[in-house]
Structure 1
């Protein structure tokens, strides 16, 4: 009995520990990458491209086909035994097997295989691109959720200070050192802080729901977030150096390069349609014959006929396209598509350079703002402390004290927002330095 109780207690402790387990940003991103519907669809597409590559590889092998047919004939036809026309009823049974291999087709089969192999690599790069985009979206929603959750603590702290100050104001009013309007003003401030707390709690619930939606996380399940603000080490780097080191690994650039190569292979395939096609084939055939009009006379045995009528053949086929305007038009269109893909690649590289420059500028500017805002929070904290002392001594009005408290609260909220934004901006810069936003299992 005691052993059972111990096991139950351990199980309850384990369940409670799992229920209280917090979700970090990395864990939320990993969950979103694994459960996002667009990424799951792209994985299915990747499996299909792998199958398409195998199919394109098998196009190099000879094609083999077998044929069996049976035929009843009546009326005037040729008698196979005498090779003369007779009015008879016959049954013919034909068997054949043949193989054909393409010796030359203008590189169409080879380029089709290269195109299929490229499509598989492009599909894998698209998964990486979708995962990076999902990671950035989850990272943004996570920062918003943390900001709203931590703002609740600041709002609760402000409400607690206002309640304590209201209590002190009432006592001073009872002692005759404060007037009734001061008490009413403090009651109004407490009510306002209570309203701000409720509003902030509602914003936190909405931001948490938005994060769950971005993660494809069950809306009814609890999601306890790790509210610790992590700050990566900020290093000085130039946008040009980041672009040169990252452009080969950028998913967008990879996809654009794959599109260029795919368009080139498509152009080579369409151009190959204008070249001759040379094929080599071989096969064997046989048949069985029976005259149904001759009563009392049996035909030659089935197996013996198949052996006697067995024949082999080999052929070489050359197909030369002479006039086909549709093929010329397709080749010209494929070349234009190839040139457009090259222009799209240049635009993608330019956009990547601009994004990296913007990320570095945003990170550096946000870092400077955080340093300056810390000084402002310290100054506002000292100012509020002095204003609180003046208010207790009757040298400051309730309105001025409220203004000082609101200024301090807004500075703290702004500092929190900028710290979270700086962490996100630095993480984005680290991504351009080659650090993954998510880890694959």
Structure 2
């Protein structure tokens, strides 16, 4: 049955990939374009990505990337935020945005009907090219951001997440919260927003992803309309992550449970060890109820409701993190058991049976990540942001299937050093 299921997963995956034909080209000003023509539904998804994430916040202006991106949605040209919102809602289209550490994104989803599509793209172009950053909207959203930051200081998960980033990265650009700090947001001015927009919403490292009911000729026109205005302002790469001393941070909190954040900086995008680390993590803590950590810490010992681990590869070394929540009185026991499980896995690697099951689940589940145009657009956006090879989707299953027990053991022994782990506990007893 396992062999038959594996064959089915590989067959299903190959059918899926055959239907995803990615056209790639570059514009004259260097914007990378990824286009997938799909006429199954009369819908088009457009995502444009910029090298304008929170790691680009100038020192002392933490939060400017986040606020800039959000304000772009709230007024452009002669249109205020309500008029922009109505323009999209009246035609059944949607406008979105957001940032993470490495990038900022603006997107629309619209019907492909010519009149509707034209209105959506015209308004989107206005948002991209002529954000107004109105004084009153800026002041209002600045206050709203400060309120959210204050609120996050009462939430154990937010407290732990921010303290963990600081413990791992210190003064590196990855070390501050994406929304900024109270003291930095208080100092932000409208001029800071405009300067950030002018510098980082440029063609350098920009990409645009279009998936849906368009011909390539139509897509080329859309790309030209949306990106021809972009200037190429050069800026230095995000600095490498230094090897800081591991930190042990304990934060008091009245919550009944203690929250653990545990790990180290580990993996970059396009890392040569990605596949063995990815598969190995699924076995040790990323696979939910089938992972070792869940089996030992939850099922056998009843110390937690859930425990997890994951890698978050970034432009520079992103974190490997183990997390759990447990009663304050049980935190030491839970942490000791996590250490035992991890040390055993690093020393011995997975069993052959664990590896077979992990491959079957990862290969079988991969098509579900790409079963809609929206998901395809999101996945290709990740490829675009980090300059993945165009055949990444085709090679993913093959590369997973190649991973061996020795590959995982070797990668974890070289890359995961538990003596370098930082520990953040919120609500420790």
- After TM superposition, the score normalised by the length of structure 1 is 0.18
Higher strand proportion: 2
Higher radius of gyration, 1 or 2: 1
Of Structure 1 and Structure 2, which has the larger fraction of its residues in helix? 1
